């Protein structure tokens, strides 16, 4: 069997000899669009059992079957990192979800801040983007896209031991102290459970910034001297976090 060129996420247990029945959409994609026939290789992953090389063992118009042959990658989960961001325009929001999934986050949490433009998000559509990104980038893990939540409520209910890298576009001219009055450096930050927070196009309100600067788990961060767009800031922040505190 040749190495598979197609990687597919399936919600199905994977093990040697395990058969996976395909639904109509999957069959349409594999046999209608990609023109695979019986015997063709497909790589499968389900978010928990690693990656498997499978073979098409039945191909039909409305369904089909794949059979797992051998495991090609161990299960590898990303760091326990959440990306909190305020949804912006559709294509830019899609970009943030795709890049976060590629760069390695456990959870993508859209948040509603005071100046957030979007009232609603299509969680299922964003989740599908995260799945597609995982299929394309060789990940064996699917980042979970959570429902939109208000930032103030999320902060009020913040889990103990999770640190927050707060990307503050106005940090340079901030006159706020950190909780103990001293500047905080990521160099001194503990590893482990983290979240990154990126604000909306309109930035954070003064009240939000004041609150965030006073939180014991918040680490305010400046990403250079220019104001980045939220999608750029998300990628820059993920890069910085991966280098300083993550797996790079
Ligand atoms: N309208 C705001 C900019 C918002 S940029 C203004 O003009 O001030 C969107 C988000 O990206 C910000 O809320 C912040 O989280 C992040 N961001 C952008 N540039 C940044 C920088 N230089 N440092 C830290 N965070 C930044």
Q: What is the pLDDT of residue 44?
A: 98
Separation of alpha carbons 227 and 200, rounded Å: 12
Q: In whole angstroms, how far apart are CA 81 and each of 78, 99, 106, 166, 238?
A: 8, 14, 5, 13, 9
Probe ligand 1: pick from 169, 198, 219, max atoms within 8 Å of CB?
169
Report pLDDT for 181.
56
Q: How far is the CA of 170 from the centre of ligand 1 (A)?
A: 7
- Predicted pLDDT at 172: 63
User: How is the chain split into domains, by residue range?
Assistant: 7-73, 81-245
* CA neighbor of 247 nearest in space, from 65, 100, 79: 79
Task: Give the nearest ligand 1 atom to 170 CA.
Answer: 8
CA of residue 105 to ligand 1 center, whole Å = 20
What is the pTM for the complete model shown? Answer: 0.93
CATH entry 3.40.1280.10 includes domain 81-245:
yes
Question: Using a 6 Å cutoff on CB, does residue 87 contact ligand 1?
Answer: no
Distance, C-alpha 198 to centroid of its chain: 14
Ligand 1 centroid to residue 158 C-alpha, Å: 22
Whether 168 lines ligand 1, by a CB cut-off of 6 Å, is yes
Give the pLDDT confidence score for residue 65 in this predicted structure. 98
Q: Is 218 exposed, middle or buried (0-12, 13-18, 19+ CB in 10 A)?
A: buried
DSSP string for the chain: -PPPS-EEE-SS---TT-EEEE-HHHHIIIIIIS---TT-EEEEE-SSS-EEEEEEEEE-SS-EEEEEEEEEE------SEEEEE---SHHHHHHHHHHHHHH--SEEEEEE-TT-S-S---HHHHHHHHHHHHHHHT-S--PEEPPPEEHHHHHHTPPTT-EEEEE-TTGGG--PPPTTSS---GGG---SSEEEEE--TT---HHHHHHHHT-TTEEEE--SSSPPPHHHHHHHHHHHHHHHHS--
- What pLDDT, on a 0 to 100 scale, did the predictor assign at position 171? 77
For residue 243, how far is the Cα from the chain centroid? 17
The Cα diameter of the chain in Å comes to 67
Q: What is the pLDDT of residue 157?
A: 97
CB of 203 sitting under 6 A from ligand 1: yes
The residue among 151, 154, 169 whose CA lies nearest residue 221 is 169
The pLDDT assigned to 179 comes to 53
Joined together, the tokens standing for residue 22 give: 């395909």
User: Encoding tokens for residue 123?
Assistant: 């969680």
Q: How many residues does the chain have?
A: 248
Residue nearest to atom 13 of ligand 1 (CA): 199
- CATH superfamily of the 7-73 domain: Hypothetical PUA domain-like; domain 1 (2.40.240.20)
Residue 165's nearest CA partner among 227, 214, 238 is: 238
Cα 248 to ligand 1 centroid, rounded to whole Å? 24
What is the pLDDT tens value at each position of the chain, 248 positions in all?
Answer: 677 889 999 999 999 999 999 999 999 999 999 999 999 999 999 999 999 999 999 999 999 999 999 999 999 999 999 999 999 999 999 999 999 999 999 999 999 999 997 778 999 999 999 999 999 999 999 999 999 999 999 999 999 999 999 999 987 655 555 555 566 788 889 999 999 999 999 999 999 999 999 999 999 999 998 999 999 999 999 999 999 999 99
State the residue for tokens 């058969």: 19
Domains 7-73 and 81-245 share a fold: no
Cα 14 to the chain's mean position, in Å? 23
Cβ–ligand 1 contact at 204 (below 6 Å): yes
């Amino acid at each position: 069997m040749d190495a598979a060129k197609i990687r597919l996420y399936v919600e199905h247990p994977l093990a040697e000899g395990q058969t996976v029945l395909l639904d109509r959409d999957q069959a349409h994609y594999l046999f209608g669009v990609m023109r695979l026939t019986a015997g063709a290789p497909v790589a499968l992953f389900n978010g928990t059992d690693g990656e498997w090389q499978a073979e098409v063992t039945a191909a039909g118009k409305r369904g089909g079957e794949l059979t797992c042959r051998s495991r090609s990658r161990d299960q590898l989960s990303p760091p326990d990192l959440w990306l909190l961001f305020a949804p912006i325009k559709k294509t830019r929001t899609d970009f943030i979800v795709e890049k976060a999934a590629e760069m390695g986050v456990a959870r993508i949490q859209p948040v509603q801040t005071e100046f957030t433009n979007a009232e609603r998000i299509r969680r299922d559509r964003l989740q599908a983007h995260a799945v597609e990104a995982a299929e394309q980038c060789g990940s064996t893990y699917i980042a979970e896209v959570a429902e939109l939540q208000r930032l103030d409520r999320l902060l009020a209910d913040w889990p103990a031991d999770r640190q927050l890298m707060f990307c503050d576009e106005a940090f340079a001219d901030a006159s706020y102290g950190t909780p103990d009055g001293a500047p905080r450096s990521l160099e001194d930050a503990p590893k482990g459970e983290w979240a990154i927070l990126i604000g909306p196009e309109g930035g954070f309100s003064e009240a939000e910034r004041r609150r965030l600067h006073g939180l014991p788990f918040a680490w305010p961060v400046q990403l250079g001297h220019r104001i980045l767009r939220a999608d750029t800031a998300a990628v820059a922040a993920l890069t910085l976090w991966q280098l300083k505190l993550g797996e790079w």
